[in-house]
Structure 1
Amino acid sequence: MASNNKSIPFAAAALLLVSQAALAQEQVVKIGITGPLSGANAFAGKDNENGVRLAVEELNAKKVSIAGKTIKFELHSEDDQGDPKAGVAVAQKLVDAGVRFVLGPYNSGVAIPASRVYNDAGVIMSTVGTNPKVTQNGYKGVFRIVASDTQLGGSMAGYAAKQLKLKTIGVIDDRTAFGQGIAMEFVKQAKASGITVAGHEFTTDKATDFAAILTKLKSKNVDAIFFGGYAPQGAPMVRQMRQLGLKAKLLGGDTLCSPEMAKLGGDAVGENVLCAQGGAILDKQADGPAFQARYKARFKQAPDVYAASFYDQTMFIAQSMKSANSLDPSVVAAAMRASTYKGVVGSYAYDANGNMKQSTVTVYTFKNGVPSALATY
């Protein structure tokens, strides 16, 4: 029996046409994530990246359709090293690659200069940089997805005065945009609450020896030290406080509210350490436990400080694309400012400057090596 070989090319051509038609109905949307993926704060950068990655994977599984096309979200991850100069270079690299929606940076000192690059290119930037300056340039595409230093520092100062009944506090900051910003806000609110600020010392975000400045604050009989800085410095600082016999509490912002603090500080980190973090208690949110379970199943570890916030903002961006039926960042940004989104860790709604209209702040301490919530404001 003779075979009809002519049918094979026709079948292949038909499959090719179907494939081309499918591709014509699919559009790639590049999502950028930038943060410290190397160095001392890599644990935070990777956690944030994982939050975005989980959102992108879930969105792709849902086959989101916008303007008649199926959207394929594509993740572009860049290491900004927590360094302002590297952050600007990374920002330009993402812009040149056609990325129009960026999650990050993590550090305020990186977010402030990088925001100009993104603004000039018409890119949406969503950051957890808490320094108030991040959103003071009037850039329409900049969003701060957590509480600012004003809220974090104010909440920690209020808790120190009202619940801890502290009278005298010393302050140390690492001179980064984040460290200076949150220390300044804490000092302002602490003084307004009747707390005496006995001294303000300075270090760097690379330092490991704090004996001299801790000894100086010990001589002033402080009840607590507020540290504007990151966990890789906060952990050895609290160990050295113990070695010097300084029985003061260590207070800080969101950057200390991480299991990494206890991991690095060991048994020196316990109920003597308190920190303020933007957002509600994840365990207590309706969708919190399910998110934690999905995150752990995907990445084989529990989410850290802001994975859920980065996940939520990625989902909010996708929702705004759908509601606006547009992939134009300026249109999407306008839609975000005109709407709200109920996320895993709370509700998101932004004012004209890109700040959260309302942002819950939770004060934590440490129990058994993990942050444990004390109060929510």
Structure 2
Amino acid sequence: MPSTTTVHTLTAATLLVACATAAAQAQVVKIGVSGPLSGANAFAGKDNENGVRLAVEELNARKMHIAGKPVTFELLSEDDQGDPKAGVTVAQKFADAGVGFVLGPYNSGVAIPASRVYNDAGIIMSTVGTNPKITKSGYNNVFRIVASDNQVGSSVAAYAARQLKLKTVGVIDDRTAFGQGVAMEFTRQARASGIKVAGHEFTTDKASDFASILTKLKAKKVDAIFFGGYAPQAAPMVRQMRALGMKDVKLLGGDTLCSPEMAKLGGDAVGENVLCAQGGAMLDKVAAGPAFQKRYKERFKVAPDVYAASFYDQTMFIAQAMKAANSVDPSVVGSTMHNTSYKGVVGNYAYDAAGNMKKSAVTIYTFRNGAPVPLASY
């Protein structure tokens, strides 16, 4: 008969072998987030990161198994500063770290050059960048998880013509890939709808003084100004419009203006004079929205902003595709995502061959009491 000491030694050795075997079988899936975590758009970058973080935490709580092995999701987040060069550096860093799936970038100008790095590394990139060029490179693993500039810009123009009955507009863009793209689509559709585009002015995504270009458009007696750019510029712009006596001139924009940050930065100058278009539906108007808002606020102590739910949904879709494919290989998962769909918080996610949403509603919003309020959907 073995001694007690021998039995204990054998038991300990058996446990060590079992633990080593389990560790060897475990799979770590690295999920990267690329976005502006510093600078003027840091509020959006952090909101997007939080959406992914919430999904990762919920997935890990489920203790998923894929191909018979336990899976742990690991979140890696990097600040791309909303800058194309920094975004490419982040993409290479993720590739070197063995990241298979990236949520972001937030900015179109970052997503366009970064997509090539992700494609070459076999990484799935899921972006809210709306410039149509993002999905025109023929990369199989690039997904746009919201409506494109074509849909957003044209929806604002259609609303301006049909509901607002605008006759003359001015256009300003910040020369970023996003700003130029959405302004171009608005201009195209506005003219097709019979609206006169009286002038097109340019600024940058770092500017804060718009008096000169606003004065030019005021002289042309515009009914509204469409701004292709971001909230940190749109907010001072609308304040300066008021200071120049343009209180009856509406400010129109894309999804980047549909944020509580717009009202926070613009104060009482932001109200029903500001209208914007965002892909998807208002969270409190969809079935799963309130529950998501509650979980998000309990976890992060703030309400979700524009795209937290979209980033959350896409992370969950990736996990669903892994289960369906019985694989964590990005190429296999990407192929599965192209051939399946996912019912998320915001809506139904299904992609065409280029990586665009097959169907993505666009909602027009205005502002009341410092918050975006939906007016119509297209």
Cα distance per residue 1:319-351 (max 9 Å; x no partner): 011111111111111110101110000000100
1:321 and 2:325 are equivalent in the alignment: no
Report the secondary structure of 2:139's partner residue: coil
More deviation, 23-32/146-155: 23-32
Matching residue of 1:235: 235
Match of 1:310 in 2: 311
Q: 2 CA distance for matches of 1:165 and 1:105?
A: 36
Counterpart residue number, 1:268: 269
SS at match of 1:270: coil
* 1:6 Cα offset (Å): 4.4
- Mean Cα displacement is larger for which, 7-16 or 302-311? 7-16
Matched, 1:296 2:297: yes
Q: d(CA) in 2 for partners of 1:79 and 1:271? A: 34
SS of structure 2 residue aligned to 1:354: coil
List aligned pairs for 1:1-377, cutoff 5 A: 4-247=4-247, 248-377=249-378
Letter matched to residue 237 of structure 1: M
The SS at the match of 1:119 is: helix
CA deviation string 1:77-130 (max 9, x = no partner)? 000000000000000000000001100000000000000000011110000000
Structure 2: gaps of 5 or more residues: none
Identity rate, percent: 78
Alpha-carbon distance in 1 for matches of 2:277, 2:33: 24
Deviating beyond 6 angstroms after TM superposition, the runs of 4 or more aligned structure 1 residues are none
Equivalent residue letter for 2:117: V
Distance 1:15 1:294 in 2: 38
Root-mean-square deviation (Å): 1.0
In structure 2, the residue corresponding to 1:375 is in which secondary structure? strand
1:4 Cα offset (Å):
4.5
What SS is found at the alignment partner of 2:216?
A: helix
The whole-number CA distance in structure 1 between the counterparts of 2:228 and 2:21 is 55
* Aligned partner of residue 147 in structure 2, secondary structure: coil
Deviation at 1:12, TM superposition (A): 2.7
Q: TM-score, normalised by structure 2?
A: 0.98
- Report the Cα distance in structure 1 between the residues aligned to 2:253 and 2:326, rounded to whole angstroms: 42
The TM-score, its normalising length taken from structure 1, stands at: 0.98
Q: Deviations over 1:243-292 (max 9, x none)?
A: 00012000000000000000000000011000000012211111111000
Shift of 1:5: 4.3
